[in-house]
Amino acid sequence: MRVPLGARSVLGIALETLPKPMDRALKPIGECLDSTPLLDPTQLALGRWLAQYYHAPLGEALRLFLPPEARRQEQSTQARADALRLTTEGATLLAALAADQVPPGLGRAPAQQAALRALGAGPQRRAELLAAGHRAPTLRTLLQKGWLEPCGASTPATPVPAPPLHSEQAEAVAALTADRGTFRTTLLQGITGSGKTEVYLQVMTQVLEEGKQVLVLVPEIGLTPQTAQRLAARLSAPVHTLHSGMATGLRNQRWEAGRSGAPMVLLGTRSSLFAPLPALGLIIVDEEHDDSYKQQDGVRYSARDVAVKRGALQGCPVVLGSATPSLETLENARQGRYGHLRLSHRAGQAQAPRQRFVDLRKHGAPEGFAQPTLDAISETLARGAQALVFLNRRGYAPALRCHACGWLADCDRCDARMTVHRDPARLRCHHCDRSQPIPGVCPSCKERSPMPVGQGTQRAESLLQHRFPETPILRLDRDKVRSMARLEAELEAIAHTPGALLLGTQMLAKGHHFPRVELVVIVDGDSGLFSADFRAPERLAQLLVQVAGRAGRELAPGTVLIQTHDPEHPLLQAVVTQGYDAFAEAALEERALLGLPPFAPLALLRAEAPQWAPVERFLTEAKAALLAAPGAEAQSTLGPIRAPMARRSGRFRGQLLLQGTERAPLHRNLAHALPQIDKLPSARQVRWHCDIDPSDTY
């Protein structure tokens, strides 16, 4: 509704009506925009929980649940899927009409009769129906009467049959289907290619047959088309995708399809979590360990954790799937709070890849690639198989240096180096997006031209193209792939090209299926070993396993080569020789010793300003407020300290880290202190926020 606030008129959501009028004089509501509630009870309850848990304003939390387009004029809440089809009831009516019996309620409605007849042959796109002269109000009436229902236009007539399950899959499906109708969270841990998606499919089939809805979360928009096609080919219910890259109108339609309660699969990125799905019967969070499930501005929620909460509210099972589960989820499973199912070998005939180190101390790699690596690539391409080269650094080179005086190109606005780019040739800061021309002579000694140092994907591409001139190379990184349509097209084209090279950043590591890849090269196995962030080892281990999972997906066994200066590093050793579980075991032990998540909750108060002084003043006063509030005795409050990247985009950044022993006192402390911190005069001199369960401490 629209309500007056001071001199302005703002949008608001009515949450409840009070039993008796308040003593204060209240202004009347300006305009009521929706005749039916915009948010259903689950959405409201989840919104309230989000506001409370993440210490966010209720309005900001509820805004997540609003349809992508605030529907100002439109009164209808009817479903707007791509296509419509007859319900069983509708089909019965149509049969009666065909037999010249005019059912009650249809006698004087020739337009409705005509629309029913039009759908007698099967589903039709709404746009086609409208083009054929059927009117929107007629369709809406039929939907309201339950004679029509929305469906995805891509719904196949006969779904592709399921393969017979191997025994671990069968056990997983049995366990998960037994949970139907009750809330329970289960970790499905299976190496890449072990058949997790197959398990999801069979559980989904049963849930959909009961007339329920399924929500599937995936980390990246790049993953939705492949997954959507696979699900749609197998399920008889419509599969709707939803992500922020879609046009607003289409997203709105998907939202409305969910609201209808019709059986369907909603497949999307983290914001799909807030769609109305009144008949929700199953939530799947695929690649649950993925960083992108954590929202990094506004309400800083973890989509994985909110999914579990939503499952609890709607009484349905939640499946967290991953080859490399987060340490949080693993610990929940170890404590018995979550179920734990495993798929330990690959489905079909695929074999697990062999992993080998290439010792860069022994071989050297003047151009980024050691000789044994180049030999392996050449041999793979000669066989007509594909090789995938993974380098998590975009651009041409990560630094520009003068070899006469040692000058390095730094960003003026960040504590960071400028990255050298080609096409167009510029220096770019990856932290603030600033760019400038590449200097021809060293700005410091004016003697020599500074040279690019190190290797990014652009440089690797030109090196490889030079070495393998006949080979088609597809580079995938954020500079190259800017649109989702482009990404889909490129992936589709390359997947079936024999003897091709794929080269890219972590975009390549995520879930895509590359059936011809038989060799994976990790160019820089050392990156990430020495980061300040406590989650860095976990991320590196996940990345190594995920990237390795791209090799040998179908019939041929794959090989993974990891180039490193430190093949004895305990982390690399654990992951490569013993696998992810051994790594996780050791990493959990270390986290327990250090009092870090999942054993102790964290909250991070971040602040930034054009100078350091106001940041420090604010954080010092905030710390005092936290220490004075109840619950403070149960936690340590570290700081104020400068953030690991102390200056970014010309702003100084500082933080206070709250390390709790238990969740309840930490939240009590924050609930008391944050409103006071918000009122501090020093709070107005900085930009600040509180991040609950931060995914990194940067």
Q: Which window, 67-75, 229-237, 259-267, 441-449, contacts Zn ion (CB under 5 A)?
A: 441-449
In the bound complex, what is the minimum distance in angstroms from residue 173's beta carbon to ligand ADP?
10
Q: By C-beta, is 414 or 502 nearer to Zn ion?
A: 414
From the CB of residue 92, how many other CB atoms can be counted at a distance below 10 Å? 13
Name residues whose C-beta falls within 8 Å of residue 314's C-beta, 6 or more positions apart in sequence.
42, 183, 277, 280
In the bound complex, what is the minimum distance in angstroms from residue 376's beta carbon to ligand ADP?
24
CA dihedral 659, 661, 666, 668 (to 10 degrees): -160
CA 134, CA 116: separation in Å to the nearest integer? Answer: 10
CA distances from 274 to 266, 268, 286, 299 (A): 11, 11, 17, 13
Is residue 345 involved in binding ligand ADP (CB under 6 A)?
no
From the CB of residue 530, how many other CB atoms can be counted at a distance below 10 Å? 10
Residues numbered 581 to 610 that lie near Zn ion (CB under 5 A) are none
In the bound complex, what is the minimum distance in angstroms from residue 220's beta carbon to ligand ADP?
15
List the single partner that 405 binds among Zn ion, ligand ADP, none, CB under 5 to 8 Å by kind.
Zn ion
Q: By C-beta, is 170 or 408 nearer to ligand ADP?
A: 170
Q: By C-beta, is 174 or 451 nearer to Zn ion?
A: 451
Among 273, 318, 385, 411, binds Zn ion (CB under 5 A): 411
Asked if residue 170 lies in contact with residue 318, where contact means CB atoms within 8 angstroms, the answer is no
Among 122, 348, 610, 650, binds ligand ADP (CB under 6 A): 348
CA 449, CA 558: separation in Å to the nearest integer? Answer: 43
Is residue 555 involved in binding ligand ADP (CB under 6 A)?
no
List the single partner that 163 binds among ligand ADP, Zn ion, none, CB under 5 to 8 Å by kind.
ligand ADP
Is residue 438 involved in binding Zn ion (CB under 5 A)?
no
Closest CA to 655 of 613, 622, 619, 679: 619
Is residue 404 involved in binding Zn ion (CB under 5 A)?
yes
Asked if residue 266 lies in contact with residue 254, where contact means CB atoms within 8 angstroms, the answer is yes
Asked if residue 607 lies in contact with residue 686, where contact means CB atoms within 8 angstroms, the answer is yes
Here the contacts of 197-200 (C-beta below 8 Å, separation 24 or greater) are 197/227, 197/230, 197/286, 198/162, 198/163, 198/165, 198/169, 198/347, 199/165, 199/169, 199/172, 199/173, 199/343, 200/284, 200/286, 200/319, 200/321
In the bound complex, what is the minimum distance in angstroms from residue 165's beta carbon to ligand ADP?
5
Residues numbered 163 to 192 that lie near ligand ADP (CB under 6 A) are 163-166, 169, 190, 192
Is residue 233 involved in binding ligand ADP (CB under 6 A)?
no
Report residue 181 as tokens. Answer: 């109708």
Is residue 435 involved in binding Zn ion (CB under 5 A)?
no
In the bound complex, what is the minimum distance in angstroms from residue 514's beta carbon to ligand ADP?
12
Judged by CB under 5 A, how many residues of this single chain contact Zn ion? 13
From the CB of residue 427, how many other CB atoms can be counted at a distance below 10 Å? 22
Is residue 453 involved in binding Zn ion (CB under 5 A)?
no
In the bound complex, what is the minimum distance in angstroms from residue 651's beta carbon to Zn ion?
11
List the single partner that 444 binds among ligand ADP, Zn ion, none, CB under 5 to 8 Å by kind.
Zn ion
In the bound complex, what is the minimum distance in angstroms from residue 561's beta carbon to Zn ion?
34
In the bound complex, what is the minimum distance in angstroms from residue 436's beta carbon to Zn ion?
11
CA distances from 233 to 73, 156, 173 (A): 37, 7, 19
Q: By C-beta, is 444 or 697 nearer to Zn ion?
A: 444
Helix axes 224-234, 484-495, angle to 10 degrees: 70
CA 612, CA 647: separation in Å to the nearest integer? Answer: 9
Asked if residue 652 lies in contact with residue 610, where contact means CB atoms within 8 angstroms, the answer is yes
List the single partner that 169 binds among Zn ion, ligand ADP, none, CB under 5 to 8 Å by kind.
ligand ADP
Among 180, 413, 422, 467, binds Zn ion (CB under 5 A): 413
Interacting residues with ligand ADP (CB under 6 A): 163-166, 169, 190, 192-198, 347-348
Interacting residues with Zn ion (CB under 5 A): 402, 404-405, 407, 411, 413-414, 429, 431-432, 442, 444-445
